[in-house]
Structures are given as C-alpha cells and as structure tokens.
Amino acid sequence: MPVRRRQKDLNFWEKIYIPEIAKGLALTFKTMFKPKFTMEYPEEKFIPPPSYRGRPVLVQEENGEERCVACGLCSRVCPALAIEVQAGETDREKERYPERFEINMLRCIFCGFCEEVCPEEAIVMSKDYELAFTNREDAIYGKDELLVPVKNLNERINFLRQYK
Amino acid sequence: MNYLEIIVITLVKILIIFTIMMLTVSYLVYFERRISAWVQNRLGPNRVGWEGVLQPFADVFKLLLKEDIVPLVANKPLHTLAPILALFVAFSTYAVIPFGPDITVFGYKVSLVVADINMGILYVLALTSLGVYAITFAGWSSGSKYSLFGGVRASAQMISYEVSMGFSVAGVLLFAESLRPVAIVEAQSGWMWNAVLQPIGFITFLVSAFAETNRLPFDLPEAEPELVGGFHTEYSSMKFAGFFLAEYANMIIASALIVTLYLGGWQIPYIELLGLPSWLTAAIQVAGFFFKVGFLLFFFLWVRWTIPRFRYDQLMSLGWKVMFPLSLINLVWVAVLIMIFKL
Ligand code: SF4
Ligand code: SF4
C-alpha cells in the first residue's frame, strides 16, 4: 500500500484543536441568525421557472377546443405507457380530434417526451406539481382535467420555442 | 424534624426534580431540533402549537402508538431490561446534585438537594458507570451485528473516558476536601470557580462528559452512517423512547455536574454584597444555577451541530494519549497550587 501523506501539516495551534473548534462554533452561531431558506409550503407556494416539468396538460385554444389532432405520437413515445388517445373524426379543419384522451398520473414519469414529440404543440408540461389522489381511478386524468387554456401556458410554449 | 416530615419533604423534592427533569428533557429534544434547523438555515418544527412548543407531546404520543417490535433472536428479558436500566440510571443520578442553597419554608430548613450524602460524587460516578451496562445489554441482547458493534464501542469508550473523568474530578476534590456536592459548591465562593483555577481539568472533564453521554463528536455507539442506529437499532416504540429520554437526561446530569464541580454550582460571585433579603438571594441563586445548566445544555447542542464525528481510533488515542495525561497534569497543578497558596 502506498504511503499516504498529509497534504498540509498542521501547526501547533491547529493540532491542539481548541482554537479551531472555537472558530467552528463561532461560524455555526452566526449561521443561526441568518435568514432561513425554508418555504412554509401550504401557505407559501413554490412557483417554478418555465423550464420546470410539472404534469403534462393539453393546450386549449381560445375558442375552447383542444389543439390535439389525435395523431397518437405522444401515446407511442411515452416510456411509461401512461397516455391513451382515441381518435374521432370531425368536420373542422383539422379533421381529427381526440374523443378520449387520458393520462394515468400514477404512471407518468414527467419525462416530457410527449411534449417533445407532439407535432402540434398540443401537449405541454405545466407548472402544476400538486398531484394527490385518494384512489387509483382518480389518478387517471381525462380531457376535462387535462385541458388548460393556452393563455396560461404561454410561458412554457415560449420556452419551448426558444430552447427545444 | 421527625421521620414523617423528612419523608414527606424528600418525596416532594423528588416529585419536583422529576417533573423538572421530564419537562427539560422533552424541551431539550424540541430545542435540539430547532437549533439543528437554525444552524442549517432551516426553520425546524414550528407547527404544533405556537412555534411548535407542543411538539414534544406530539412526539411522545406518536411513539406510544407505535408497534413494539422485538427481534426473534433477541434475548427478551435483557432486551426489555436495557432501556429500563438506562432510564433508572439517568433519573436517579440527579438525586445528589444540589440546585440551590439551604432555604427556610414554613419554618423548616430545607436543603435544595434530594439526598445530601457525603460521598455524592462517588455515587454519581458509580451510577454513570452502571449506564454502560444499559447500552452493552441493549447491544448484545438485540441479536444484531450493528447493535453489538454499537454496544461494544460504547463500553470501550465509556470505560476509557471514565479514567480521565475520574482524575479530573480528583482535582476538584483536592480543593474542596470533600466528596459532598454541597461542600464542593460552597468551596467555590466568589470567583474561586474550579473552571478558573484549573482550566485544564475543566476541559478534560468537559470532553469526557461529552464522551460519557455519547454525544457528538463522540457518538460512535450510534454512528448512523456505519452502524444504522448503533445499540438501539432493534428498538422501537416506547423502548426506543426510553433510550432517547435517557440520553437527554444524561445530558442534563452532565451539565448539572459540570456546573456543580467547575462553575460554582448555584453561587453567583459577590451576590451577598448587594444586601438583598435572603429569600431573594436564594431565588436568584437557584435561577443562576438553572441558567448555567441551560447554557451548558445549549453548548451540548451547539457542539453537536458543529463538529464532525471522530474516527474510532482517533477517539481512543484522544482518550488515552491526550485526555488521560492532561488530567494527570491537572492533578499535579492543583497540588502545586495548594502547596504554594495554602488554599
Ligand atoms: S411526461 Fe413522459 S411519462 Fe408522462 S405522459 Fe408524457 S411521455 Fe408519458
Ligand atoms: S402528439 Fe400531440 S397531437 Fe398527437 S395525439 Fe399527442 S397531443 Fe395529440
């Protein structure tokens, strides 16, 4: 075994420890009166930056319709198999719309692949991190829970346009 | 005073001390959590009651409701005995430590110590060594390797540091010429505090007290990163709480002992020159005692959140190669002082 040498030889005062201990104590004492970093959560909420990946949501246009064209790419790419899309036909310009769109929030791992693959910018990650359910059925979010008006999602969409 | 009166007075004193101890222990746990949080720029528990002052009671209820798990391979009688022993030692040691001067209540002359026995210091040393058994039993009877390591380390550590502790105390005894705690306190009138007269002994005793109570930086018996929980790995529910309470009660005893032996006990220098009525003087002195103990308790917590843990070999070499010779030097120093100044 190679002989390990000290990087730095301690001088006499450092060797008797007591001044060094006093220095350490002074530091912790000072720290006690510094401002705290804790956020008192339910009262004081953390507002994440736009790069944050909260729960995935569907973009709802101003006219109240979803942007999604039910291409099924997000469902295909989802590594956790969390998304289920059922397409239906419509007379509107986009021709297809999702009859049913479900994300199982117990499966979702917040990877953001769905958002990355979507050709229509129709599914994006929101800032919502408060996800709690009392049973498994509640954890499957349908269209009514997923649709979020586009004006609430502009920050994330701009972030995606800039950095994606 | 007849026997009945003595018994009643003693029982009242025991009750008072026990209540104070229990309350201090629970609030010590609370302050430990708050202070550790402050040192780390956090807030700590502040939800139960105003600023979290009811947290200790919430903790106790939580522990009471927990399931008591005993491992299959444990030696059950010893496994149960260990926390009881720890608590017994922790609470009975306080009996000989005085917390105030003699006072007169309803015409009775009452000394503010449960048992004013003339070999009090020996009693303390004997009982604290009994505390080693609690930890060793806990470690050995759990039937787990981590507990066993914790127990073995604890016994080695406590025995080594008891040596330097004993020699540091010898210096104090030389001055006071008595083993009676009250006499030791009375010998430190004015600024004749032992901490001033024999600083080396004070430091060695302080360090040994940290080691004896298994507090950081000497908490090797329960070193979490290596030994899971140390000797109390296999304990849960109120048995675990027993060890927890005992540790904090031991801190109180260590602080009270340091105050008695080195910081002048209840004495406040030159308070008699103020010419206050005697009951007020006594009250201030008792308050002074509790203030000193409180400061030392804060010091215990403060050190815990400042200094990292020692390695086992460092602990042993510190104990035997540094603390032991230093306490001997202190003994010689005291002898020289007595020779020269005829104190
Ligand atoms: S974030 Fe990832 S896991 Fe969650 S739904 Fe989208 S692709 Fe699936
Ligand atoms: S990838 Fe976009 S457009 Fe296609 S189904 Fe998913 S959300 Fe709808």
Per-residue confidence (pLDDT) for residue A78, from 0 to 100: 92
> How much is the ipTM here?
0.72
> Closest Cα to atom 4, ligand 1: which residue?
A108
**Which of A152-156, B104-108, B189-193, B280-284 bottoms out in mean pLDDT, i.e. has the lowest?**
B104-108
In the predicted model, is pLDDT for residue B212 greater than 70?
Answer: yes
Whether B41 maps to a domain, the answer reads: no
In the predicted model, is pLDDT for residue B176 greater than 70?
Answer: yes
In the predicted model, is pLDDT for residue A6 greater than 70?
Answer: no
Set of chain A residues whose Cβ sits within 8 Å of the Cβ of B303: 25
Whether B127 maps to a domain, the answer reads: yes
Per-residue confidence (pLDDT) for residue B343, from 0 to 100: 58
- Ligand 1 nearest atom to the CA of residue A81, by list position: 8
Of B42, B203, B303, the CB nearest to A36: B42
In the predicted model, is pLDDT for residue A9 greater than 70?
Answer: yes
How close is the nearest chain B Cα to the Cα of A16, in Å? 10
- Ligand 1 nearest atom to the CA of residue A109, by list position: 3
Whether B50 maps to a domain, the answer reads: no
Whether B81 maps to a domain, the answer reads: yes
A83-89 vs A96-104, strand pairing mode: antiparallel
Whether B14 maps to a domain, the answer reads: no
Set of chain A residues whose Cβ sits within 8 Å of the Cβ of B42: 36-38
Query: For the residues A92-96, what does the mean pLDDT come to?
Result: 83
- Domain containing B257: what range? 70-341
Query: What confidence tens digit (pLDDT) does each residue in B95-113 have?
Result: 888 877 777 767 677 777 7
In the predicted model, is pLDDT for residue B85 greater than 90?
Answer: no
> How far is ligand 2, taken at its centre, from the CA of residue A116, in Å?
10
Per-residue confidence (pLDDT) for residue B238, from 0 to 100: 81
In the predicted model, is pLDDT for residue A79 greater than 90?
Answer: yes
Report which of residues B5 and A109 the model is more confident about: A109
Chain-centre distance of CA A97, in angstroms? 26
In the predicted model, is pLDDT for residue B226 greater than 80?
Answer: no
Whether B315 maps to a domain, the answer reads: yes
Query: What confidence tens digit (pLDDT) does each residue in B123-167 have?
Result: 888 888 888 888 888 888 887 888 888 888 888 888 888 888 888
Set of chain A residues whose Cβ sits within 8 Å of the Cβ of B307: 21, 24
Cβ B39–A21 below 8 Å, yes or no? no
pLDDT band at A109 (very low <50, low <70, confident <90, very high): very high
Q: Is the CB of A70 under 6 A from ligand 2?
A: yes
In the predicted model, is pLDDT for residue A1 greater than 70?
Answer: no
Percentage of residues of chain A with pLDDT beyond 90: 15
Cβ B306–A32 below 8 Å, yes or no? no
Q: Which residues have CB under 8 Å from B210's CB, separation 6+?
A: B216, B217, B218, B254, B300, B303
Cβ A35–B42 below 8 Å, yes or no? no
Q: Which residues have CB under 8 Å from B200's CB, separation 6+?
A: B326, B327, B329, B330, B333
Percentage of residues of chain B with pLDDT beyond 70: 97
Pocket test for ligand 1, best of A114, A123, A124, A160 (most atoms within 8 A of CB): A114
Of A24, A33, A35, the CB nearest to B307: A24
Q: How many domains does chain B have?
A: 1
How close is the nearest chain B Cα to the Cα of A53, in Å? 26
The residue among B224, B75, B187, B214 whose CA lies nearest residue B139 is B75
Query: What confidence tens digit (pLDDT) does each residue in B23-70 have?
Result: 888 888 888 888 888 888 888 888 887 888 888 888 888 888 888 888
Residue of chain A whose Cα is closest to the Cα of B44: A38
Report which of residues B144 and A101 the model is more confident about: A101
Whether B197 maps to a domain, the answer reads: yes
Of B41, B43, B302, the CB nearest to A25: B302
Set of chain B residues whose Cβ sits within 8 Å of the Cβ of A27: 306
Q: Which domains does chain A have, with CATH numbers?
A: 56-163 (3.30.70.3270)
